[in-house]
Structure 1
Amino acid sequence: MPDSGDVHAVKASQRGDAQVRVYAVQPRQGATPDEIVTGFLEAMTSDDANFATARSYLSAEASEQWRPQESTTVLTAAPDPGAPVLGTGNDPGMTYPLYGRQIAGVDAQHAYQPVPPTDYQRTIHLSRQGGEDGEWRIDSLPPGLLLGASDFERNYVSVNKYYFASGRDVVVADPVYIRQRQDPVTRQDPVTQAVAALLAGPTGWLEPVVESRFPGGTALKKGVKTLDLDDRNVLKVPLNERAVGVSRTQCTKMAAQILFTLRDMSSARVEQVELIGDGTQLCVLSSGQAKQYAPDHVVGSPEHQYFVDEHDRLALLESRAEDETAEPRNVPGPFGDGRLPMSSVAVSRDERTGAAVSKDAASLYVTSVVTGSELRGEILRSQGPTREERLSAPSWDGRGDLWVADRDPADPSLVRVPQGTGTPQDVRIVPGLDGARIEALRVSADGVRMALLLTQDGKTTLKIGRVEHRGPSDDPTVTIADLRPAAPQLEAVTAVSWAGPSRLVVVGKESGGVQQVRYIQTDGSTAANAILPGLNQVRAVAASDDETMPLVAYSEEDGIVRLPAGANWQTLVKEGSAPVYPG
């Protein structure tokens, strides 16, 4: 340690090590108002029990009213106190302005909500407690926690809760943020926090399209703070009386929700979940048995990567081929033999059917990609005046339906083709797009979320919407509801693909920045190891729902390239475009 030199103040949010822990310090006797404000802001970044140290900077009444667990405001850096303003007249206290740039908030359901970087300004008021010679304490403050981004990342971790898609036995990820270590208020460890958050129900945005198999009011047994794996990697979860009496089928689905929620969390992998109610075993489910509820349980990992070759035909490569020099081959039938020159393509998740948009982007066709067949008539035709104002690249959802956007300025529409062969249906977006145009779309494997690239006023942004099905299953009314920004920090987004249950890979750039390929969470937060190795002039990107599969992209400089784990981009095909995985 240095034993000489000047002392420099360092803001809390400049700490970059996620393993660093902050131990808050109680205010000293006779602390100045400046010390009280800076000490409280620092104490909010700690995780001592019930924020006891942070509360020691508050008056008794303010401490009683403060609810740090109800919301968190995330700023780019630690809040910056301004010069204090002395009270006048009946106010002998002092008011400190707090400045910053807000980038997100976290609500009481642990849901992360990004916002475009916005100036933040609130105030903290102090007064002397117990008369003119009393200690300075904070008696008025902003609600919840106020943290810089690095402090937030150090204290919180993103976790996917899982619920079932409405009316279907397919799980859907619902990302939330929980404390990395013991929660200051509940004193629960991270695994217990995740299970408790799951039992509390889905976040408000996802709730209209998912269901929990836990009976209403189900919670952990009172007093449970820790859930530990035994030596066989079995997790026993004691539940309250509301879980008692459920059927075996329902119980196994309850256990599946817990297994999916915890599968990426524990250092020791959870192999089996045992639910306990009133001291009695309710059911047991292994990780292998839970796979039947995964969105891709029918088709498994993709066998191929697809792209449009230099002759505008559909070609494929083996997904896991170790030989990077392996030659691509064309699919059988009209998509691969040149009868239909194409500009973009989508392959169904079972890799049996393809959907292609013609070279001029005016027509949509569907046919088999595993057998030779005749080219059937067009499914859809756009009347847009230019190629850029006609059909977007198509996308298959987990239900087997096909989606495409018609970008015709005179008659823009979002179209769903049931099972890829049914009558095309226009799908409403609620609320409307207010003049924005759909440039591209990608539907999640579970079929309940859609990523949309929207262009307006020369800017292309990324938004996520819910896919809502209402009415009879054979003829539902389908809408896209409640669009929310997924990457507000990016002002220009070029391409997007799903890259897992709650993760997207995006090509875009920030204001004044350069193009990047990066991962983001569907809630708009930044994923771990978000920014990927640089690649120039990227026009398309494709990722698999199986996160072990390599990323594929189209670069105008390098052609079709692939990014294996732990390596840099590798050229697969010099001439080609529009790479896709099934979906």
Structure 2
Amino acid sequence: MGADREGGGRRGPVRAAAYGVCGVVLLAGCASMPDSGDLRGVDSTPRQDTQVRVFAMPPQKNAQPVEIVSGFLEALTSDDPNYSTARQYLTGAASEAWKPDLSTTVLADGPGTGPDRSDRREVSDDLTFTLSGTKVAQVDAQQSYAPASGPYTAQVHLTRDKKSGQWRIDRLPQGVVMGKSDFQRNYMSVNKYYFASDATEGTPAAVADPVYVRRRVDPMTQMVRSLLGGPTNWLQHVTRTSFPAGTALQKGVSSLAPDDQNKLTVPLNANAAHVEAATCSEMAAQLLFTLQGLTPVVDQVELRSGNQRLCSLSEDRTATYATLASANDPGYLYFVDGKNRLVRIAAGARSTDPRPEPVPGALGEGEKALKSVAVSRDEHTAAGVAADGKELYVASLVTGGSLGDPVLTSHGRTAQDRFTAPSWDVHGDLWVADRDPGAPRLLLLRQGKGQPVVVRTPGLDGRIQDVRVAADGVRIALVVAKGSQKSLLVGRIERGTDATAPTVSVLGLRSATPELEDVTAMSWAGDSRLVVVGREQGGVQTMRYVQVDGSTPEGPAPAALTGVKEITATESDRLPMVAYSADGIVRLAAGAQWQKVVTDGTAPVYPG
């Protein structure tokens, strides 16, 4: 539980910045507390600089029940690592039973609080207060975030000790509850990394698994513990870890920090003592990927178990053990020009007047007018949907290559009822959705050819309008239309076999844009981030970043752009975002404004 505060009249948590606003006096009472009246709510803490520290205050002697509840909620928004001050508001038994790390419930405005009227007797040693609010999200025991909605209610029971006469909380819900602004101040999202379990050959893909950790409570050690604990439930079916089962930090290790050479030494328990050298290096790669998303300070990891040095790995060697999408840049940006050909420009070109060149092969010759395209991640093959949306072609990007017959044909009556833009995965397989109302399907062509596999989509409620496979090959983003709404859903890709043939399924679909009702364009824009163009209910078109778990990442949104029809980005932030809008094809480099690339062009894409 925690304290975004709603109404006036409650004390605020005691705060100090690095430059000092009350100094150490804060701990002694830079806050005041009312001593009477009903507890109506806990005021909302404004969003503050992340360096502001919040210190908890213990209960004052002879504090009234309203003060005990208020003080407890506010203590939970502090940076107390073990909630030791918050526990002072509880009875001994309640403190022992309370497990704050089981969950964090995020409310829109913080918990409203009030006494249960049925308990308001003139003389009573027991009182009940009801916490209430509107749910926004839930963070589970694995630190995994999920959007939530609907009302929240929970009860806190207080009793007065007969000997001391002091009020304390003796019954309370498990976990923590706080308002959205306190959550944003206290927690941050960090990716931990595992390996795609469907890799059959070559270097496996690193898969980002975002979790929320407390921002100022030794996040480095928190992330190492979280990584060792294994992937979250949503990803565990499609990822693997190289840490042996039961691996944990060595007993007695409470905090980790790099040395003055930027090397982090991680002491592990005996479960990791006998790993092979290659496995140990994969473990170190997982740690480096994870920690570098948290801090640039760590560029080398050494693993130890007991007195034994297991292995050491530096940042420049991680690519040997896994491919990280955000570390790789494509060679070209591709789009369809005014002659309906597939053309390209260098991905990093800075010229204000780039000269696109037709791609080698049939798709660059204009033999077939194109509506949308996709280029394989190795940039050797491309797929194009014909201008009427009816046919899907695949061709090699080599000079003299022929187009051949379409690999797929849709029977939808209109272009809007036919093929979506295609998307390539890391295995070289091609994905596309057929929007034919009579037979809507998500299809996969292995290596872009042969008989299509109909992808199983249990739980899908609606018709797919757009498809983008993540660079790791185990996650897929879908724009799904149901009625007048179009939502962005993210699912995991599971591959298996049945009695007759291999199967492919998209499972665990969940919303990445709970606040948008009309998603019109999207693209992957990071290891666990997408950029989305859409509209809130009754609002205007907006562009924003979203996390795959449905949360909003920190940092500014992309610069505003009107009339966006299509958008593309890479997992790396070194290359500009590119959009097709009313002004033609435009791009947005980091820290800059939108700039025109060409007036005459549509359907911009990076490989994937």
Distance in 1, Cα, partners of 2:541 & 2:257: 44
- Give the partner amino acid of 1:458: S
> Does residue 166 of structure 1 match 2:197?
yes
Deviations along 1:234-283, one digit per CA (max 9) or x if unpaired, are: 22111111111111111111111111111222242x22211111211111
- Give the partner amino acid of 2:589: P
> Does residue 581 of structure 1 match 2:573?
no
Which of the numbers 289, 311, 329 marks the counterpart of 2:357? 329
Distance in 1, Cα, partners of 2:263 & 2:84: 35
Distance in 1, Cα, partners of 2:441 & 2:413: 15
Distance in 2, Cα, partners of 1:475 & 1:230: 53
Distance in 2, Cα, partners of 1:245 & 1:364: 52
Structure 1 regions of 5+ residues with no counterpart?
A: 183-188
Distance in 2, Cα, partners of 1:401 & 1:541: 22
Classify the secondary structure of the residue corresponding to 1:261: helix
Deviations along 1:79-109, one digit per CA (max 9) or x if unpaired, are: 1224552417898533323222211111111
Cross-structure match for 1:432 = 459
Which of the numbers 384, 397, 412 marks the counterpart of 1:384? 412
Q: Is the 8 A contact 1:391 1:405 kept in 2?
A: yes
- Give the partner amino acid of 1:66: W
> Does residue 87 of structure 1 match 2:112?
no
Q: Which is worse superposed, 344-353 or 530-539? A: 530-539
> Does residue 98 of structure 1 match 2:131?
yes
Q: Which is worse superposed, 159-168 or 377-386? A: 159-168
Cross-structure match for 2:569 = 543
Kindly state the Cα deviation for residue 485 of structure 1 after the two structures are TM-superposed: 1.3
Question: Where does 1:507-518 land on structure 2 (aligned, <5 Å)?
Answer: 507-518=533-544
- Give the partner amino acid of 2:137: A
Classify the secondary structure of the residue corresponding to 2:438: coil
Classify the secondary structure of the residue corresponding to 1:465: strand
Classify the secondary structure of the residue corresponding to 1:197: helix
Cross-structure match for 2:591 = 566
Alpha carbons of 1:300 and 1:18: their partners in 2 closer, same or farther (altered >3 Å)?
closer
Question: Where does 1:283-362 land on structure 2 (aligned, <5 Å)?
Answer: 283-295=311-323, 300-362=328-390
Q: Which is worse superposed, 390-399 or 225-234? A: 225-234
Q: Is the 8 A contact 2:277 2:311 kept in 1?
A: yes
Deviations along 1:266-304, one digit per CA (max 9) or x if unpaired, are: 242x22211111211111222121113443689941111
Which of the numbers 116, 136, 139 marks the counterpart of 2:170? 139
Kindly state the Cα deviation for residue 360 of structure 1 after the two structures are TM-superposed: 0.6
Kindly state the Cα deviation for residue 73 of structure 1 after the two structures are TM-superposed: 0.4
Q: Which is worse superposed, 394-403 or 55-64? A: 55-64
Cross-structure match for 1:123 = 155
Kindly state the Cα deviation for residue 70 of structure 1 after the two structures are TM-superposed: 1.0
Kindly state the Cα deviation for residue 33 of structure 1 after the two structures are TM-superposed: 2.0
Distance in 1, Cα, partners of 2:496 & 2:417: 30
Alpha carbons of 1:7 and 1:553: their partners in 2 closer, same or farther (altered >3 Å)?
farther
- Give the partner amino acid of 1:177: Y
Classify the secondary structure of the residue corresponding to 1:428: coil
> Does residue 152 of structure 1 match 2:183?
yes
Classify the secondary structure of the residue corresponding to 1:207: coil
TM-score, normalization by structure 2: 0.89
Cross-structure match for 1:196 = 225
Q: Is the 8 A contact 1:295 1:398 kept in 2?
A: no
- Give the partner amino acid of 1:105: Q
Classify the secondary structure of the residue corresponding to 2:546: strand
Q: Is the 8 A contact 1:486 1:524 kept in 2?
A: yes
Cross-structure match for 1:467 = 493
Distance in 2, Cα, partners of 1:143 & 1:247: 41
Alpha carbons of 1:571 and 1:341: their partners in 2 closer, same or farther (altered >3 Å)?
same
Deviations along 1:400-451, one digit per CA (max 9) or x if unpaired, are: 110000111111111000011232111111x2324x0000110011100000
Kindly state the Cα deviation for residue 394 of structure 1 after the two structures are TM-superposed: 0.2
Cross-structure match for 1:225 = 254
Kindly state the Cα deviation for residue 120 of structure 1 after the two structures are TM-superposed: 2.2
Q: Is the 8 A contact 1:13 1:78 kept in 2?
A: no
Which of the numbers 264, 278, 289 marks the counterpart of 1:249? 278
Distance in 1, Cα, partners of 2:33 & 2:565: 50
Distance in 1, Cα, partners of 2:173 & 2:536: 30
Distance in 2, Cα, partners of 1:293 & 1:173: 15
Question: Where does 1:17-56 land on structure 2 (aligned, <5 Å)?
Answer: 17-56=49-88
Which of the numbers 134, 143, 146 marks the counterpart of 1:113? 146
Cross-structure match for 1:259 = 288
Classify the secondary structure of the residue corresponding to 1:58: coil
Cross-structure match for 1:531 = 557
Q: Is the 8 A contact 1:93 1:126 kept in 2?
A: yes
Distance in 1, Cα, partners of 2:422 & 2:448: 11
Alpha carbons of 1:515 and 1:192: their partners in 2 closer, same or farther (altered >3 Å)?
same
Distance in 1, Cα, partners of 2:295 & 2:120: 55
Classify the secondary structure of the residue corresponding to 1:520: strand
Cross-structure match for 2:473 = 447
Alpha carbons of 1:328 and 1:49: their partners in 2 closer, same or farther (altered >3 Å)?
closer
Q: Is the 8 A contact 2:42 2:113 kept in 1?
A: no
Q: Is the 8 A contact 1:519 1:531 kept in 2?
A: yes
> Does residue 67 of structure 1 match 2:99?
yes
Alpha carbons of 1:267 and 1:85: their partners in 2 closer, same or farther (altered >3 Å)?
farther
Which of the numbers 521, 528, 550 marks the counterpart of 2:547? 521
Structure 2 regions of 5+ residues with no counterpart?
A: 1-20, 23-31, 35-40
Distance in 2, Cα, partners of 1:289 & 1:17: 36
Deviations along 1:176-197, one digit per CA (max 9) or x if unpaired, are: 1112122xxxxxx221111111
Alpha carbons of 1:13 and 1:372: their partners in 2 closer, same or farther (altered >3 Å)?
farther
Distance in 1, Cα, partners of 2:518 & 2:556: 17
Q: Is the 8 A contact 1:291 1:297 kept in 2?
A: no
**Cα RMSD (Å):** 2.4
TM-score, normalization by structure 1: 0.92
Kindly state the Cα deviation for residue 206 of structure 1 after the two structures are TM-superposed: 0.2
Distance in 1, Cα, partners of 2:358 & 2:585: 15
Question: Where does 1:177-216 land on structure 2 (aligned, <5 Å)?
Answer: 177-182=212-217, 189-216=218-245
The percentage of counterpart residues that share the same residue type is 50
Distance in 2, Cα, partners of 1:425 & 1:190: 43
- Give the partner amino acid of 2:598: V
Q: Is the 8 A contact 2:459 2:507 kept in 1?
A: no
Q: Is the 8 A contact 1:516 1:531 kept in 2?
A: no
Aligned residues between the structures: 567
Cross-structure match for 1:185 = none
Distance in 2, Cα, partners of 1:370 & 1:547: 29
Q: Which is worse superposed, 416-425 or 86-95? A: 86-95
Kindly state the Cα deviation for residue 121 of structure 1 after the two structures are TM-superposed: 2.5
Q: Is the 8 A contact 1:18 1:153 kept in 2?
A: no
Kindly state the Cα deviation for residue 219 of structure 1 after the two structures are TM-superposed: 0.7
Classify the secondary structure of the residue corresponding to 1:14: coil
- Give the partner amino acid of 1:72: T
Kindly state the Cα deviation for residue 50 of structure 1 after the two structures are TM-superposed: 2.0
Distance in 1, Cα, partners of 2:440 & 2:355: 39
Kindly state the Cα deviation for residue 399 of structure 1 after the two structures are TM-superposed: 0.9
- Give the partner amino acid of 1:27: P
